[in-house]
Amino acid sequence: MRLALTIDGMRAVHARHAVMTALGGVPGIEGAEVELGAAEVTCVAGLDPATTEAALRAAIAVAGFTVTAVTILPRRLPTL
């Protein structure tokens, strides 16, 4: 499962590191790409989307930012 997060309050480069560190503490997260104001998170298969969203929102709140939107993205096919 891939999720796109819109994150409010990220105005400086150190915010990217803070959010990346926060996401690393969420169980089931395989990877993340973070930029100012947004993140794309890849989770292990089989996780409950609602529970995962709540965990991501909580972790990012601890880092000092607010998730304003979460979108489930279509899965990516492997490239050959």
pLDDT in tens, 44-56: 988 898 999 999 9
In-domain check, residue 79:
no
Q: By the 8 A CB rule, do 58 and 25 touch? A: no
Is 78 among the domain residues?
no
- The CA distance from 53 to 61, in Å, is 12
Query: How many independent structural domains does the chain possess?
Result: 1
Q: Is residue 65 part of a domain?
A: yes
Which pLDDT tens digits describe the chain residue by residue (80 residues)? Answer: 999 999 999 999 899 999 999 999 999 999 999 999 999 999 998 889 899 999 999 999 999 999 999 999 987 776 66
Cα 47 to the center of its chain, rounded Å? 14
Structural domain boundaries, residue 27: 2-73
- State the pTM of this model: 0.88
Whether 47 and 77 have beta carbons less than 8 Å apart is answered as no
Query: What's the CATH code of the domain at 11?
Result: 3.30.70.100
